[in-house]
Amino acid sequence: MSPSIAIRLEEELKDAGRRYQKGVKQLCADGISRVPNKYVWPVQERPVNDKLNSSKAKLVNLPVIDFAELQGPNRPEALKSLAKACEQYGFFQLVNHSIPSEVISSMVEVSKRFFELPYEERARYMSSNMFAPVRYGTSFNQNKDKVLCWRDFLKLTCHPLPDVLPHWPSSPTDMRELAVTYAKEAKHLFLKLTEAVLDSLAVRLMRDQIMSEFEDGSQLMVVNCYPQCPEPDLTLGMPPHSDYGFLTLLLQDQVQGLQIQHKDEWHTVQPIPDALIINVGDHLEIFSNGRYKSVLHRVTVNSTKSRISVASLHSLPSKCTVRPLPELIDDEVSPKQYMDTDFASFLAYISSCEPKKKNFLESRKLI
């Protein structure tokens, strides 16, 4: 190859790289009819050719937990269903969750409007600093991913609100107000769910102390945008991962895309109108000494509809140590399964490797 051709190719590659860093929404706005190679996943990891998954993924009816039942006279029964869902699926759909439907629809709608803003406006929030209170980006781990994901995101740190709020996007002009309202509702619901989780694990001695830690706990909202994709079978919106926190509350529009791993197969979650998806994160698996499962999940994309989701990830304050609860450890029957961990070691871990698969949790296992 002549030097001038080599230089030109290199320039083209750099140019493509710069283009991809702008995200999928912008790529689509520029007009494409095929998925660029950088987004094409290895055959075995694609949504339909996955070795776990020789044909299209099955639909899964996740366990449904009725929040009103949890708060009423049938609480003991509802707690049993909650425990079963966390043990067997690591996921459930929550109905009658008490967040007003206009709060939910406004959050979805303002998120859509955020991603419709001109690229330059969104790009103001791009940052490679993991600690930035607001971070706009693309793919999963933008600077490390060898293959890119068909996803743009906005991450909003929600705690402590008075400190972080001035950094949140100032446009759309109603974004802060609507997102704060949703974040507060999500936090309130999370605390109620955590009480239920503690009760379902029969935690007694430290219940009040743990609850007061969670009241001051961390909250991160991740607004995900998965634009429609010309060749959805070649790529993924998010790779298989588990969530690092205690519980995640996931709000999604009514477009399918979330898949969970269950009995060694991928299953597509069928959205239920107005329900929230709740899943166990790594911290709860550790805290419950392995009784509740932080399950791998991923996101597929489709050719007809763009999809929006808002994940609210909650845990203890980031300075706290997460450890199996002593009350749940018994040297004979259920020995300690995980070593103690903290947020700093999680961040060190994901900065040092590709955060794919259940690596972090695996790295904490003692047995």
Residues that bind ligand OGA (CB under 6 A): 222, 224, 238, 243, 250, 252, 257-258, 297, 299, 309, 311
Nearer to ligand OGA, 180 or 222 (CB): 222
The residue nearest Ni ion at its CB is 243
Q: Go through 57-82 and write b for each residue having 16 or more CB atoms within 10 A of its CB, e for each that does not.
A: beebebbebbbebbeeeeeeebbebb
Omega within 30 of 0 (cis) for the link into 160: yes
Kind of pairing, strands 134-138 and 152-157?
A: antiparallel
CA–CA dist 37, 169 (Å, integer): 32
Give min distance, CB of 326 to ligand OGA, in A.
29
Give min distance, CB of 97 to Ni ion, in A.
19
CA–CA dist 281, 315 (Å, integer): 9
Size of the site for Ni ion (CB under 5 A): 1
Give min distance, CB of 277 to Ni ion, in A.
10
**What is each CA distance from 97 to 72, 101, 158, 205, 274, in whole angstroms?**
13, 10, 21, 28, 9
Partner in contact with 157, chosen from Ni ion, ligand OGA, none, beta carbon below 5 to 8 Å by kind: none
Nearer to ligand OGA, 43 or 353 (CB): 353
Nearer to Ni ion, 172 or 237 (CB): 237
Nearer to ligand OGA, 198 or 280 (CB): 280
Which of 243, 253, 282, 285 binds Ni ion (CB under 5 A)? It is 243
Partner in contact with 257, chosen from ligand OGA, Ni ion, none, beta carbon below 5 to 8 Å by kind: ligand OGA
CA–CA dist 254, 204 (Å, integer): 39
28: which residues sit within 8 A by CB, 6+ positions away? 227, 228
Partner in contact with 221, chosen from ligand OGA, Ni ion, none, beta carbon below 5 to 8 Å by kind: none
Instruction: Report the amino acid identity of residue 300.
Output: T
Nearer to ligand OGA, 217 or 324 (CB): 217
Partner in contact with 29, chosen from ligand OGA, Ni ion, none, beta carbon below 5 to 8 Å by kind: none
**Run of H or E residues at 183:** helix 175-200
Give min distance, CB of 308 to ligand OGA, in A.
8
Give min distance, CB of 243 to Ni ion, in A.
4
Give min distance, CB of 222 to ligand OGA, in A.
5
**What is each CA distance from 109 to 23, 115, 251, 299, 366, in whole angstroms?**
20, 10, 12, 20, 44
Nearer to ligand OGA, 78 or 158 (CB): 158
Strand order in the sheet with 238-241: 58-60, 265-269, 258-262, 297-299, 238-241
Give min distance, CB of 15 to ligand OGA, in A.
30
Residues that bind Ni ion (CB under 5 A): 243
